[in-house]
């Protein structure tokens, strides 16, 4: 076994006085405890009630979650039922998320770029009872997909439903093992599966970064990441609420807006994907990042060169960390110690990480276990069983990340992937899903999609096509227009390459690593 230097799973060296390691509570319970005091203290900046952005204080936030939970209960929703949630990053979205979790509903955070086919898959798979949505046209779209779905707008949902007076008794009664979120991801293979995270998983995930990054009430985060993936939701929003800190919510990433907010709101922290740092690095006010207590990058590799450039231009040593839908966060560069460009760091408090044995020299698949690791894939026992390996020493099983790692001086670096995955701007793209959409074009006889390196996006989606007899090779614009009804925009190819034959191995499986972009 390749031992990593454990941060605090075994040695409590990372946790300073006054910080606790995760306790076996629930996320909703921990939030109400953290936010119960000082009701006038600002919590979130953003649009509320559909109005302009303003500060919403802790007391108002908790009241609003209680009122919304009562309305959801009045609409007949009961704990354990799934609710699809999607909207721009407003305080209304945060209120809805917390109201659902306090009521024991299982939130299905959903990417606002999804098209009908992607939404249809999620709905058929986890059969939500209700949906709260804030995108134009989504209410009609969802109602068309499932006439039994209770669909409401994020702002003032179910206005005609009587409020259930008995709801207070139903709030915050979830147990640590109760499902809280179903996050859609393809894992290492296949079509998107729902990763079920319990209240305790989410609490452990947020606690570990709170401890490791010394996140306290005085911190203020500028949060422009979408609130439907782990980075923005499980770290940015959950961590803010748990630390009793505050955050400025921005819907979408605009470098000027981020830099303005850092300045105007006296922010102390910024979290982003590498594409955001790439765009900020060239900005004439990038030095504002250097005034922050902490800048965190993740969801995709932060190029060592970009890390160095940000240090030179902004005087900031960006802290890179590594996470996944199934595990929230697992590894992070240290807050107090050396932050190494090109490495993701050491295990977070409470998390066990190792590399699989019998692998390629010093490189092995990264395995993880701990209270942050999810409960399994929704109604997929076989996929769940395949995702874990037994512990050779008889301990708890290990989750297979599908990422390949190597350890140097106790620091983990991600050196490749055992899974077929493209990460573009921090969004995951599964090549097979794109293949399946493009093959429907009449000029495409065969197709294989892969990622090629890109300074801005990390990886760019490229399609290699064998052109059908009697047709010309379709251009990239034509293919994008053709597939845009089936795929979210970030999955569409940015380049097309005509090829005589798709490379395959002896079993006929596409060998995507052999696909090359011509010079």
Nearest-angstrom CA–CA distance, 263 and 42: 17
The dihedral through the CA atoms of 212, 217, 222, 228 has a sign that is: positive
Q: Which stretch binds ligand AMP (CB under 6 A): 84-92, 153-161, 321-329, 390-398?
A: 321-329
Residue 134 class from Cβ within 10 Å (0-12 exposed, 13-18 middle, 19+ buried)? buried
Q: Which does 320 bind (CB under 5 to 8 A by kind): ligand AMP, ligand MLC, none?
A: ligand AMP
Q: Establish if 331 lies at the interface with ligand MLC (CB under 6 A).
A: no
CA dihedral 439, 443, 449, 455 (to 10 degrees): -140
Question: Quick check: 206 and 73 in contact, CB under 8 A?
Answer: no
**Binding residue count for ligand AMP, defined by CB under 6 A:** 19
Decide whether 105 or 197 has the Cβ nearer to ligand AMP: 197
- Smallest gap from residue 489 Cβ to ligand MLC (A): 3
Question: Quick check: 246 and 42 in contact, CB under 8 A?
Answer: yes
Helix, strand and coil percent figures for the chain, each rounded to 5: 30, 25, 45
Q: Establish if 198 lies at the interface with ligand AMP (CB under 6 A).
A: no
Q: Rule CB under 6 A: choose which of 58, 102, 214, 229 binds ligand MLC.
A: 229
Question: Quick check: 202 and 180 in contact, CB under 8 A?
Answer: yes
- Smallest gap from residue 273 Cβ to ligand AMP (A): 9
**Binding residue count for ligand MLC, defined by CB under 6 A:** 22
Of 35, 76, 64, 79, give the one whose Cα is nearest residue 170.
79
- Smallest gap from residue 185 Cβ to ligand MLC (A): 9
Q: Which stretch binds ligand MLC (CB under 6 A): 72-80, 272-280, 343-351, 442-450?
A: 272-280
Question: Quick check: 294 and 272 in contact, CB under 8 A?
Answer: no
- Smallest gap from residue 291 Cβ to ligand AMP (A): 24
Q: Which residue is nearest to ligand AMP (CB)?
A: 325
Q: Which does 489 bind (CB under 5 to 8 A by kind): ligand AMP, ligand MLC, none?
A: ligand MLC
Q: Which of residues 67-106 bind ligand AMP (CB under 6 A)?
A: none
- Dig out the tokens for 330 from the structure: 């697992």
Q: Which of residues 200-239 bind ligand AMP (CB under 6 A)?
A: 229-230
Question: Quick check: 411 and 355 in contact, CB under 8 A?
Answer: no
Of 223, 295, 258, 300, give the one whose Cα is nearest residue 455.
300
- Dig out the tokens for 388 from the structure: 């874990």
Q: Rule CB under 6 A: which residues touch ligand AMP?
A: 185, 229-230, 298-301, 320, 322-325, 344, 401, 403, 414, 417, 423, 428
Residues that bind ligand MLC (CB under 6 A): 225-226, 229-232, 252-253, 273, 275-276, 298-299, 323-324, 424-427, 457, 489-490
């Amino acid at each position: 076994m390749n031992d990593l230097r454990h941060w605090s799973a075994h040695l409590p060296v990372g946790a300073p006085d006054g910080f606790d390691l995760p306790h076996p509570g629930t996320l909703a319970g921990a939030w109400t405890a953290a936010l119960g005091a000082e009701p006038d203290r600002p919590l979130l900046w953003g649009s509320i009630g559909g109005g302009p952005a303003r500060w919403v204080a802790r007391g108002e936030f908790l009241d609003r979650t209680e009122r919304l939970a009562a309305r959801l209960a009045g609409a007949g929703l009961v704990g354990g039922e799934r609710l699809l949630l999607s909207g721009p990053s407003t305080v209304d979205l945060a209120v809805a998320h917390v109201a659902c979790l306090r009521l024991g509903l299982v939130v299905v955070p959903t990417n606002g770029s999804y098209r009908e086919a992607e939404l249809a898959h999620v709905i058929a798979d986890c059969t939500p009872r209700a949906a709260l949505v804030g995108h134009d046209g989504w209410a009609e779209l969802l109602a068309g997909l499932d006439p039994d779905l209770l669909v409401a707008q994020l702002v003032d949902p179910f206005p005609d439903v009587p409020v259930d007076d008995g709801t207070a008794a139903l709030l915050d009664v979830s147990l640590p093992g109760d499902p809280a979120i179903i996050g859609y991801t393809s894992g290492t293979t296949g079509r998107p599966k729902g990763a079920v995270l319990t209240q305790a998983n989410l609490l452990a995930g947020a606690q570990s970064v709170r401890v490791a990054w010394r996140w306290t009430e005085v911190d203020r985060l500028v949060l422009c990441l979408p609130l439907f993936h782990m980075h923005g939701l499980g770290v940015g929003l959950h961590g803010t609420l748990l630390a009793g800190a505050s955050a400025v919510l921005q819907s979408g990433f605009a470098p000027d807006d981020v830099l303005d907010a850092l300045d105007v709101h006296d922010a102390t922290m910024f979290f982003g994907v590498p594409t955001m740092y790439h765009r900020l690095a060239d900005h004439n006010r990038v030095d504002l990042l250097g005034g922050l207590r902490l800048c965190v990058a993740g969801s995709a590799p932060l190029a060592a060169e970009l890390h160095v450039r940000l240090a030179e231009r902004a005087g900031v040593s960006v802290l890179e960390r590594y996470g996944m839908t199934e595990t929230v966060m697992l590894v992070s560069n240290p807050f107090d110690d050396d932050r190494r460009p090109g490495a993701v760091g050491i295990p977070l408090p409470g998390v066990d990480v190792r590399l699989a044995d019998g692998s390629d020299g010093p490189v092995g698949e990264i395995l993880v276990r701990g209270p942050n690791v999810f409960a399994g894939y929704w109604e997929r026992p076989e996929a769940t069983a395949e995702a874990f390996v037994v512990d050779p020493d008889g301990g708890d099983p290990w989750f297979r990340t599908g990422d390949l790692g190597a350890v140097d001086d106790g620091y983990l670096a991600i050196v490749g992937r055992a899974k077929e995955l493209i990460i573009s701007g921090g969004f995951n793209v599964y090549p097979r899903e794109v293949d399946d959409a493009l093959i429907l074009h009449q000029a495409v006889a065969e197709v294989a999609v892969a990622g090629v390196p890109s300074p801005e996006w990390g990886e760019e989606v490229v399609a290699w096509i064998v052109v059908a007899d009697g047709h010309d090779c379709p251009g990239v614009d034509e293919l994008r227009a053709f597939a845009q009804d089936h795929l979210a925009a970030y999955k569409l190819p940015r380049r097309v390459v005509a090829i005589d034959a798709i490379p395959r191995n002896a079993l006929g499986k596409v060998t995507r690593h052999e696909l090359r972009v011509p010079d």
